[in-house]
Structure 1
Amino acid sequence: MEKIIYTLWRAPQVSLDAFAERLRGEVAERLFTLGARGLQLNLADADVAPAAGLRQENNRPLPDATLSLWVDSANTESRRPFDDVLTEISSRQAAYLVSESVAIRNTRFPAQPGQRTHGFSQIAFLSCPPRLTREAWLDIWRNHHTRVAIDTQDNFLYVQNLVVRALTHGAAPLDAIVEEAFPPAAMTDPMAFFDAVGDEAKFQKNLAAMMDSCNRFIDFDRIDVLPTSQYLLKVAAG
């Protein structure tokens, strides 16, 4: 089984609510009929409007949604029917084959199929800085930064998707797509985000540790961050 992450943009004349409703309804059903093994939607909808301050936009415009699709094969012939469905609803799309690593599984607020997951999900689009080899970048991110991110934040889901390759022409060059879920308070309260509510010293310590670690493998003029609502529509199963 393989995992594909699509980035999706709606047409300007289509409201975000209408775009989200169609993705969660008609489009999801068509993808299931085609044989989707698993399906997750992340939507930049009204529910995450309070998290606007967390958006980072260096490669505009950011997508309106990401769609994670688990399929038997991501080969072009097998994938084309899924691509065609998503092309109908979006003004623009890109698809990436990814290798998924779940650093934190959501056991605090388990997702219920079809329902909005508690809190919000932050999607980060990463590329390897020119100053690092891909091997060095991967080692810092996966073998050193992972523990820092877990220890300094109140994230209850942490999924690291290493981009194997882009699957569609014109897809922006990416090396990773990261998913982290946080409680609602973290949308507006940095101390909640950094697991330090009411503790200024802990907040400063966690913030500094996180920023020091990020600076080792992220160029902040290249990263994009999108707060989203997560909808797990079908649990991936072999």
Structure 2
Amino acid sequence: MEKVIVTLRRSEADEAWCARLRGEVAGELLALGVPGLAVNVRDGAVRDSLMTLTTLDPPVVALVTLWTQQYYGDQTAAALDLLGREADSPAAYLVTESVPLPPPDVLGERTAGFANVALLRRPVSLDVETWLARWHVDHTPVALATQSTFGYTQNTVVRALTPDAPVVSAIVEENFPIEATGDLHAFFGAADDADLSDRMTRMIASTTAFGANENVDTVPTSRYLLRTPFSQERSP
């Protein structure tokens, strides 16, 4: 089983487009028989989030995750063709998945809170082994200890699958309470200003060590898990 994440970029992504992507378009993707499918959209519930950073123009407004038997097979090609009609230059990435904290998904429904998705880029000053060790081994416990995260998925990019895909080294998905879209105390799970300052200081030091303090895109999204390869359940 392989995991492919597709980023979708548009200058505009209104509620009708978001609903179409997680509804009609998702239905067409499911009809292809993909073993797993999740859709993340930057819709009205999260669009004004403070947790937004953008380097790309147009910005990423949605992500579609496919689990498939062959990233190079006809099924994936058909899925990319479908998604190519919905956005400007969709970019697909083959990834490996680590899940330090599984999100509380309910199949076919919007996952509680919101999913903050970060596109990370490895600094040229760090070799791959050092970067991975600082991110996975050193940073993971810091992230879980300093934020109100209740779901944490790390996707390391193996390679891009589409021509001219923006350089991305990792795609991280963290689940937070919905209040965290507009409240730093809620985002970091801080009891007061002093606690917030301490948590932010620790987090910044940790992200700086592997270059995640700059050249990063963060996309607040509503997450929908529509089919999972890890269960016998299937959506209609």
Aligned to 1:36: 34
d(CA) in 2 for partners of 1:204 and 1:179? 23
C-alpha contact 1:58 1:221 (8 A) present in aligned 2: no
C-alpha distance in 2 between matches for 1:28 and 1:155: 27
2:122–2:169 CA contact under 8 A, matched in 1: yes
Residue number among 21, 24, 40 corresponding to 1:23 in the alignment: 21
Taking the aligned partners of 1:20 and 1:219, their CA distance within structure 2 comes to: 28
Whether the aligned pair in 2 keeps the contact of 1:10 and 1:16 (CA below 8 Å) is no
Q: C-alpha distance in 2, partners of 1:190/1:25?
A: 32
Equivalent residue, structure 2, for 1:211: 204
Equivalent residue number for residue 230 of structure 1: 223
Equivalenced residues, count: 231
Matches within 5 A, 1:1-238: 1-10=1-10, 16-51=14-49, 53-106=50-103, 110-197=104-191, 199-218=192-211, 220-237=213-230
Mapped to 2, the partners of 1:81 and 1:156 lie a distance apart of 34
> How far has the Cα of 1:11 moved from its partner?
7.0
TM-fit CA distance, 1:135: 1.2
Deviation sequence 1:193-221 (CA, Å, 0-9, x none): 11113x33322211111010011112544
State how far apart, in whole Å, the 2-side matches of 1:132 and 1:173 are: 16
2:234 alignment partner in structure 1:
none
SS state of the match for residue 27, structure 1?
Answer: helix
Identity of aligned residues (%): 40
Gaps of 5+ in 2: 232-236
Change in Cα spacing, 1:99 to 1:121, as seen in structure 2 (3 Å) is same
How far off its partner does 1:61 sit?
2.3
Distance 2:230 2:42 in 1: 26
Secondary structure of the corresponding residue to residue 48 of structure 1: coil
Higher helix share: 1
Q: 5+ residue gaps in structure 1?
A: none
Letter of the 2:25 partner, please give it.
V
Q: Secondary structure at the match of 1:181?
A: strand
Tell me, yes or no, if the aligned pair for 1:48 and 1:187 is still in contact at 8 Å: yes
Alpha-carbon distance in 2 for matches of 1:163, 1:120: 23
- Structure 2 CA distance, aligned partners of 1:125 and 1:31? 24
CA deviation vs aligned residue, 1:164-193 (integer Å, no higher than 9, x gap): 110000101111000001001111111111
